[in-house]
Each structure stands twice: as structure tokens, then as C-alpha cells.
């Protein structure tokens, strides 16, 4: 697939040389580029060989390739044995002997690398954010968050008061919201500011309670006749 916003036309004697020229202009690795001849011009009397006009274009969206390249450079400077690739889902996927190091505790190191690379490459407002994965971590983390969300919902219903989860990234908060969207006994809301923004799971069977900005109850539930209950 040709990404027209990530292509250049160069003059070169070979496709390999054209990829190198294109990589320097586009800021990606030569192996991330395809090349095709779009024109040919013979030089005077053919003494100097032929000059080709070659279109060089990216195999993947440019932001993905640039972020992956940035990650590779940082990992090399950190002396970590990891290879990067682009997954079918459009993630920068890292894998290798040092996977555990780059994931870190609760994925904090991986999230930090993701943030730094996106900041270095896509620093314009509104630029799409490229997500990272490592050794299937995201799938495992998603399953863990779904279990956490369902446990929080059960606790909120049982105790009759909201349950606040740990601060999470926007991707992780979205997993919580999706995991509980069909649960008729609770509702979810994100509160706070990044990087401390979190999800609060609220039991629907306490209609008299209101939630404050930090996810805590700001009032006591009322009974049917308007009396304050002891719950």
C-alpha cells in the first residue's frame, strides 16, 4: 500500500540507492520503504549510464515508522536486546530477551517509553498517538483490568458506595468503561487530571448520592419518605 503523504521521487541508478536517499529525506529506515521506477532518462551518448526517476514510499503510516525508529534508537542506547516491529493492529511491538525490563512494574517503563517516543516524533497538537506492546503485555493487562473492573463493580454493589480504581492511562480507563458498560447495577466515570486520572465505579442502587470531583460521595442516601438512612 502506498502512503501518498509519505513518498518522494528521487533520481538514482538503482532501487537500493533510491531507498537510502528516500530514508534520509523521510526520516525512516531504508527497510521501511518500497521503491518503483516511474521514469528513465538516458544520459549523453549513454556514456554515463542511465538515470532513473524512482518513487520511494513508506510501507506503513509515517507516524508508526518514525515512532518505531525512535524506540529502536532509545533501546539501543539503553543496551537492551529487543527488536521492534509493527503489528497488524498498528502497534509498535517490542520483543526479545529484555522484554521484562522494558515492561517494568505494571507496565510503567513501557508506558514511559511510549510517551517519550510519541512526544519526540508527534509533538504537534492533535497528532495520533502510537501505542506500544511488548511480548503480549497489552492483552494480559487488558484481561487483568477487566477482572479488576468486575471485582470493583461487585464491591460497589455489595457495599452500596463507589469504588475508586488506581490511576490509569486513557487506554486502561477505556477498558474499565467497556467492561462495565452492560452492567445494569453500576456506572463508571473518569475523574481527576492526568497522570492521576482514575475511574470510579458507582452503584446505581444509591440514587440519593452525588459524586464529588474526586469520586467520593458528597451526600447521604435518602429513604422513600426523605429520611436519612444509616447506610
CB count within 10 Å of CB 156 equals 26
pLDDT score at 12: 82
Same domain, 123 and 149: no
Residue where a domain stops, chosen among 135, 160, 180? 135
Count of structural domains, the chain? 3
Residue 218 lies in a domain: no
What is residue 205's predicted lDDT score, i.e. its pLDDT? 64
CATH number of domain containing 168:
3.30.1370.50
Judge whether 30 lies within some domain: yes
- Show the domain range for 170: 139-203
Residue 88 counted as domain residue: yes
What is the model's pLDDT at position 98? 93
Q: What is the pTM of this model?
A: 0.67
pLDDT value of position 93: 94
Distance between CA atoms of 217 and 214, rounded to whole angstroms? 9
pLDDT for the residue 222: 42
The answer to whether position 212 is within a domain reads no
Instruction: Note the Cα 176 to chain centre separation in Å.
Output: 16
**223 lies in some domain:** no
Q: Tell which of 20, 35, 59 closes a domain.
A: 59
Task: For residues 81 and 49, state if they share a domain.
Answer: no
Is 217 within a domain?
A: no
My answer on whether 89 and 130 are in the same domain is yes
- CA 24-115-34 angle, 5° bins: 30
Residue-by-residue DSSP string for 74-131:
HHHHTT---EEEE-TTS-EEEESTTHHHHH-GGGHHHHHHHHHHHHHH--STTPPPPP
Domain boundary, last residue among 90, 108, 135? 135
Q: Are residues 166 and 196 located together in one domain of the fold? A: yes
Residue 151, in any domain of the structure: yes
Question: Would 210 be classed as within a structural domain?
Answer: no
Pairing of strands 132-134, 92-95: parallel
Can you give the pLDDT at residue 227?
38
Per-residue pLDDT of the chain (231 residues; tens, 9 = 90+): 444 457 888 888 888 888 888 888 888 888 888 888 888 766 555 555 677 888 888 888 888 898 999 999 999 999 999 998 898 888 999 999 999 999 988 888 998 999 899 988 876 666 778 999 998 999 999 999 999 999 999 999 999 999 999 999 888 999 999 999 999 999 999 999 988 999 999 998 654 445 454 555 554 444 433 333 333
The CATH number linked to 109 is: 3.30.300.20
Same domain, residue pair 37 and 84: no
Amino acid at each position: 500500500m502506498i502512503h501518498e503523504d509519505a513518498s518522494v521521487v528521487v533520481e538514482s541508478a538503482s532501487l537500493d540507492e533510491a531507498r537510502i536517499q528516500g530514508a534520509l529525506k523521510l526520516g525512516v529506515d531504508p527497510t521501511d520503504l518500497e521503491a518503483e521506477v516511474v521514469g528513465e532518462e538516458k544520459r549523453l551518448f549513454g556514456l554515463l549510464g542511465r538515470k532513473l526517476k524512482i518513487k520511494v514510499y513508506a510501507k506503513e503510516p509515517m507516524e508508526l515508522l518514525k515512532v518505531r525508529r525512535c524506540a529502536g534508537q532509545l533501546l539501543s542506547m539503553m543496551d537492551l536486546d529487543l527488536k521492534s516491529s509493527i503489528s497488524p493492529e498498528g502497534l509498535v511491538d517490542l520483543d526479545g530477551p529484555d522484554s521484562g525490563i522494558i515492561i517494568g512494574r505494571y507496565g510503567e517503563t513501557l508506558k514511559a517509553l511510549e510517551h517519550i517516543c510519541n512526544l519526540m516524533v508527534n509533538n504537534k497538537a492533535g497528532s495520533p498517538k502510537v501505542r506500544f506492546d511488548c511480548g503480549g503485555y497489552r492483552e494480559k493487562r487488558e484481561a487483568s483490568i477487566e477482572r479488576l473492573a468486575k471485582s470493583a463493580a461487585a464491591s460497589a454493589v455489595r457495599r452500596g458506595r463507589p469504588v475508586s480504581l488506581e490511576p490509569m492511562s486513557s487506554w486502561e480507563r477505556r477498558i474499565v468503561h467497556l467492561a462495565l458498560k452492560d452492567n445494569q447495577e453500576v456506572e463508571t466515570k473518569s475523574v481527576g487530571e492526568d497522570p492521576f486520572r482514575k475511574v470510579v465505579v458507582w452503584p446505581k442502587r444509591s440514587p440519593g448520592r452525588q459524586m464529588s470531583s474526586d469520586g467520593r460521595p458528597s451526600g447521604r442516601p435518602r429513604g422513600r419518605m426523605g429520611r436519612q438512612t444509616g447506610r
